[in-house]
């Protein structure tokens, strides 16, 4: 991309970011689920579920996430720490696409084990001594599935070791780490840097990025997500993933593909 094209693209994408990175964006997006909470741990748990459920129709994702929060008595942190076996029975019929109650039980088990040791979920993403998000996500995946679990549950939390884009994990990290004055992302984690985040990449964002010349083919993978982020760093070195607002909205809202 030559400097003229780069300057023109930055102007276009910055304008789209300013349109969509504001509180009006929240209500129709899965990030609305954790925005219902004030306690840090409630935000983390609600955000993690909402992010992991984020494939398919956004209205369904939000409704299913809110249903789960209701089943957890609108206090997910207290629920995972203090639930009894009888409390889990009301979760037995919960399903979101291929995510079933058996998967939900394991997620709750993991959260209980983790929060018994650590005050924040951020620690789960900083266990690796490496500064690279790739290594941190690989280590997180190992840690998340370090307790006895069904093999089927592993498909609900991805790992870059399989060269998948890890869109939902990267989106969750954007929510937790990005901090600005716009009020959408939370910015409640401080050990990870915004400049190290990887742009969430699905097929729609990939198509938009390819059409804009940021990628050379429209098939998402970890390598493509890194390549896209490197391209976006030419537009903003410190906060490349803010352009997720622009790329996602161009694809989902404006059908630019």
What pLDDT does 256 receive?
Answer: 65
Asked, for residue 83, whether it belongs to a domain, the answer is yes
Q: What average pLDDT values come out for the chain (257 residues) when binned by 10 residues?
A: 73 95 95 98 98 94 98 98 94 95 97 98 93 95 96 96 97 98 97 96 94 92 97 97 95 67
In this structure, is residue 257 part of a structural domain? no
CA gap 227, 192 in Å, rounded: 20
Q: List the structure tokens of 161.
A: 């070791």
Q: What is the pLDDT of residue 6?
A: 85
How high is the pLDDT of residue 3? Answer: 46
The reported pTM is 0.95
Contact (Cβ atoms closer than 8 angstroms) between residue 176 and residue 189:
yes
In a domain, 69, yes or no: yes
Domain containing residue 72 = 3-252
The encoded tokens of residue 155 equal 């498909």
User: Is 190 within a domain?
Assistant: yes
The first and second tokens of residue 114, run together, are 């983790």
Q: Give the total number of structural domains in the chain.
A: 1
Are 247 and 210 in contact by the 8 Å Cβ rule? The answer is no
Q: What is the pLDDT of residues 186-197, one digit of tens each?
A: 999 999 999 999
**Is residue 217 in some structural domain?**
yes
Q: Give residue 254's pLDDT.
A: 67
Q: At what angle do helices 167-177 and 133-144 cross, to 10 degrees?
A: 110
């Amino acid at each position: 991309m030559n400097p003229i094209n780069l300057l023109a693209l930055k102007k276009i994408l910055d304008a789209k970011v300013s349109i969509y990175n504001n509180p009006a964006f929240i209500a129709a997006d899965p990030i609305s689920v954790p925005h219902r909470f004030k306690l840090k741990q409630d935000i983390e748990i609600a955000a993690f579920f909402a992010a992991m459920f984020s494939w398919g129709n956004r209205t369904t994702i939000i409704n299913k996430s809110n249903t789960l929060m209701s089943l957890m008595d609108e206090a997910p942190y207290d629920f995972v720490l203090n639930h009894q076996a009888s409390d889990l029975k009301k979760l037995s019929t919960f399903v979101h696409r291929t995510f079933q109650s058996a998967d939900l039980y394991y997620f709750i088990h993991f959260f209980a084990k983790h929060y018994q040791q650590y005050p924040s979920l951020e620690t789960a993403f900083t266990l690796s001594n490496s500064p690279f998000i790739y290594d941190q996500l690989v280590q997180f995946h190992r840690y998340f599935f370090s307790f006895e679990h069904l093999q089927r549950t592993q498909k609900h939390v991805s790992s870059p070791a399989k060269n998948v884009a890890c869109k939902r994990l990267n989106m969750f990290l954007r929510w937790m780490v990005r901090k600005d004055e716009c009020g959408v992302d939370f910015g409640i984690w401080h050990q990870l840097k915004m400049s190290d985040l990887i742009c969430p990449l699905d097929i729609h964002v990939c198509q938009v990025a390819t059409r804009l010349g940021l990628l050379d083919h429209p098939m998402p993978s970890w390598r493509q997500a890194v390549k896209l982020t490197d391209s976006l760093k030419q537009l903003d070195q410190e906060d490349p993933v803010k352009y997720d607002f622009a790329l996602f909205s161009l694809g989902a809202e404006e059908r630019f593909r």
